[in-house]
Copies of this chain bind each other. A is one copy, B any other.
Amino acid sequence: MKFFSDNAAAVHPHVMDAIIAANHLDSPYDGDALSQTLDDRFSQIFGTRVRALWVATGTAANALALSALCPPHKGVICHKMAHIEQDECGAPGFFMHGSKLILADGEGAKLTPAEISRVLASIRDDVHQVQPACVSITNASEYGLVYTAKEVAAIGELCKAKGLKLHMDGARFANAVASTGAHPGDITWRAGVDMLSFGCVKNGGMNAEAIIVFEPTLARELPYLRKRAGQLQSKGRFLAAQLLAMLEDDLWLANGAAANAGAQAIAHAAGDRLLYPVDANEVFVTLTAAEAASLRAQGFEFYDWGEMTEDGGEARFVTAWDQDADTVAPLAAAIAAL
């Protein structure tokens, strides 16, 4: 069984059905009936009027959102382990035309107001240093921790006080909401988030993500930026269909909860081996080299995280929507038996 990442999991049957059902001639781009309902549907979910634009990848969602929040000569404060810094081949620099990612630190890849303040204090307010325009946080974080509504709000208040925009990378937003039980609006716009990259692919989608814009004026130029980035698909109905299927009957939350439950089962078995609290669907554990080999010999596949030495090291297990507690029971048992 594979625990490399949720990013390559199968597409949920409801999503696939929605794609198949969308296969009829309709207006191109986002002029089709499905795309035209996205704003309304996401507005219901978030409890405020939003603009929702589909794109194909999380990298595009993040980079386009940031390019609308930060001008080319300024910077975005993010965690040094943030996906936008570590795993997007410089997409933010490309989409923002040279803007700088200003790196911060924090436990479990999470930022805090104190850390953001420390970074802000280190930047001289003169023309020689890149000035910050935006903060980006990831929820759930790259190490599987979540921000509570209160934590986001504390960051949001700081941003507002400092004139900074706030972006949330929600590649695993469903896992975060399912984990905290927070209302989607409470951990986003009510907490000061200006734009959200709403993840769908990792949660059972095929190739649709959404940029959710909570501040109408910020949405104005995004359709142009999307087109210019080669992200405006002519048969956009197939992306809208995925997102709508995911929202139907809260499938997105059910999927997120299932993946979280799988992770919890593994975490429970791992006990003291855990490197971080397991809030969402990622589990980081310490393993000796022999233990890692043993698990692999039993058919469990996963990534080493960092360097694995003779004495062992860290391993990452990620669960997907189709790997709930029951499904991962064999892995949990194997870990418990180490």
**A interface residues (Cβ-Cβ under 8 A, vs B):** 2, 4-5, 7-11, 16, 19-20, 23-29, 32, 55-57, 59-61, 63-64, 71-75, 86-91, 93-100, 127-131, 201-202, 206-207, 221, 223-235, 238-239
Q: How far is B84's CA from A128's CA once the two chains are assembled, in angstroms? A: 10
Residue of B nearest to A13 (CB): B23
> How many copies of this chain does the complex contain?
4
Residues B25 and A229 in contact, CB atoms below 8 Å apart = no
Task: Choose from B88, B130, B225, B230 the contact partner of A60 (Cβ within 8 Å).
Answer: B230
Known contacts A8-B28, A88-B227, A90-B130; 17 additional CB pairs below 8 A are: A10-B24, A10-B25, A11-B23, A16-B20, A19-B19, A56-B56, A57-B230, A60-B231, A73-B228, A88-B230, A90-B98, A93-B99, A96-B98, A97-B97, A97-B98, A127-B226, A201-B233
Task: Choose from B5, B28, B93 the contact partner of A5 (Cβ within 8 Å).
Answer: B28
Residues B235 and A206 in contact, CB atoms below 8 Å apart = yes
Given contacts A5-B28, A86-B129, A128-B87, contact A59 B93 (CB under 8 A): no
Residue of B nearest to A9 (CB): B25
Q: Which of A7, A57, A129, A229 has the most CB of B within 10 A?
A: A229
Residues B71 and A90 in contact, CB atoms below 8 Å apart = no
Residues B90 and A232 in contact, CB atoms below 8 Å apart = no
> 7 smallest A-B Cβ distances: which pairs?
A60-B230, A93-B98, A8-B28, A7-B234, A97-B97, A59-B230, A89-B227
A327: min CB distance to chain B, Å = 12
Chain B residues contacting A8 (CB-CB under 8 Å) are 25-28, 32, 234-235
Task: Choose from B28, B56, B97 the contact partner of A231 (Cβ within 8 Å).
Answer: B56
Chain B residues contacting A235 (CB-CB under 8 Å) are 7-8, 11, 201, 206-207
A312: min CB distance to chain B, Å = 19
Given contacts A25-B2, A57-B233, A89-B73, contact A128 B227 (CB under 8 A): yes
Given contacts A10-B23, A11-B23, A94-B72, contact A63 B99 (CB under 8 A): no
Residue of B nearest to A19 (CB): B19
Residues B28 and A7 in contact, CB atoms below 8 Å apart = yes
Residue of B nearest to A93 (CB): B98
